[in-house]
Amino acid sequence: MTGKRGNGEGSIYPYKNGYAAYVWVTKPDGKRARKYAYGKTREEVHEKWLSLHAEAKRGPVATRHRTVAAFLAYWLDSVVKPNLAPLSYVSYEGSVRLYIAPHLGAKRLDRLTVRDVREWLTKLATICQCCAQGKDAKRERSRQRCCAIGECCEAYPSRRVIQAARDALRAALTHAVAEEEISKNVASLVKVPKPRRRRIKPWSVAEAGQFLTDAAAWDDHLFAAWVLVLCLGLRRGEVLGLTWKSVDFERGELYVDHQIQRAGRQILHRETKTEESDDFLPLPALCLKALRMRRAQQTGDRKAAGELWQNSHDLVFTTKYGTPIEPGNMTRMFALRARRAGLRVIPLRNTRHTCSSLLVALKVHPKVAQRILRHSQIAMTMEVYAEASEEEVRAAIGKLSDAMGGTG
């Protein structure tokens, strides 16, 4: 094969140990520039040259491609951080720093393939993260017990961690496609096994009543929080984010519109995730009485703390100095209170399943219960009411009423 150019191939020419070609393209910023292709033979470069022409006809073409690590850094700082919730940023940043960048960061963004992503995920499942992250090595020498002394603890990532890493890469590449840096999202073409969530049997009404009775007997500072979690189905962050301004004792209503979140090293008091999460909820008599008790408790805490009191958001549930309660601490306290009451420990989020039966026990009208449970159809609420055992629930609430000195 000679070095002579063929008809219509004016931009293909000999280059070093092979050939090169260029095509004039329009970049994403609207400017015109040359896009180059290289190969060992004229035929190979000619195919690439034709592909470049076809790509240029479809729309803007990037002439310089960043590495995966460079693009992910840009995506986190310019897209995720200013536009998504702080907790989303923390989650994505952790996945990028610990699982994606160390393995795929050096690859060029436009050359990342489906095979690269699949092999990365397969390899990731076999890497001990204690070794990879130097967790044991960061401990004092006297406390090192596994990887740092040559005894790998085999702390492999769970399916949930692997799925989160793939989802973070997929979200980033989706934005790269939108900005026309790449033509397709290769991460979306790779499937990962879904993590299986272990089913946990929720508490019965009798068990919930036993828990609340024990909390009332011990004058638990979080008693009102447990009542709201069990009787209204509020989430942990929603309960901790409540302010006294949200509680209307005269109308017997509670407005849920804020939450407490741990995001990295910060505890944030911020709006709920979506507007649909904001709602006015009717307060049954038990909830009203528990909140009045909580207000009296907090008044005592404020007097005892004096100048150390710091409740800037006027939160309902605080530490003895008025600071927000750490969400993780609430979860741990729930488990401790359950053990003290002689009950099996369940995740705090599972208490939402018990909420509906407790509303039956409190004789809450079905239409009111529908609002609290956020059912779209009253038929769903009536099914709950029909299934509840009236004798069991009334006996459980009767014990709780006695422990609180009687309720309305």
Give the count of beta carbons closer than 10 Å to the beta carbon of residue 129.
19
**Structural tokens at position 291:** 């909140």
* CA dist list (Å): 174 to 85, 138, 167, 286, 393: 18, 36, 10, 49, 50
Query: Which pTM value belongs to this model?
Result: 0.69
pLDDT score recorded for residue 2: 47
Q: What is the full per-residue pLDDT of the chain (408 aa) written as tens digits?
A: 444 544 444 478 888 888 888 888 887 667 888 888 888 898 888 888 888 888 888 877 766 678 999 999 999 999 999 998 888 999 999 999 999 999 999 999 988 999 999 999 999 999 999 999 999 999 999 999 999 998 999 999 999 999 999 999 999 999 999 887 888 999 999 998 887 777 778 888 788 889 999 999 888 999 999 999 988 888 899 999 999 999 999 999 998 888 888 877 788 888 776 555 556 788 888 889 999 999 999 999 999 999 999 988 899 999 999 999 999 999 999 999 999 999 999 998 888 777 776 777 667 777 777 776 666 677 766 766 655 545 555 555 555 555 555 544
Digit-coded pLDDT (tens) for 129-188: 999 999 999 999 999 999 999 899 999 999 999 999 999 999 999 999 988 788 899 999
Digit-coded pLDDT (tens) for 233-261: 888 999 999 999 999 999 999 988 888 88
pLDDT score recorded for residue 312: 81
pLDDT score recorded for residue 403: 56
Question: Of 223, 224, 282, 286, which Cα lies nearest the Cα of 256?
Answer: 282
Name the CATH architecture for the domain at 68-189.
Orthogonal Bundle (1.10)
Question: Of 65, 62, 93, 91, which Cα lies nearest the Cα of 77?
Answer: 93
Give the distance, in angstroms, between the CA of residue 173 and the centroid of all CA atoms in the same chain.
19
Q: What residue has token string 């040359």?
A: 34
Question: Of 228, 364, 396, 219, which Cα lies nearest the Cα of 293?
Answer: 219
**Residue spans per domain, the chain:** 12-58, 68-189, 205-403
pLDDT score recorded for residue 397: 55
Q: Which CATH number does the domain 205-403 belong to among 1.10.443.10, 1.10.150.170, 1.10.3720.10, 3.90.1260.10?
A: 1.10.443.10
For 144-158, the DSSP string reads --SGGGT-----PPP
Digit-coded pLDDT (tens) for 382-394: 766 655 545 555 5
Distance CA(123)–CA(127), nearest Å, equals 7
pLDDT score recorded for residue 384: 60
Across 265-353, the runs of DSSP E, i.e. the strands, are 266-271, 279-282
Q: What is the dihedral of CA 392, 395, 396, 398, to 10 degrees?
A: 160
pLDDT score recorded for residue 120: 96
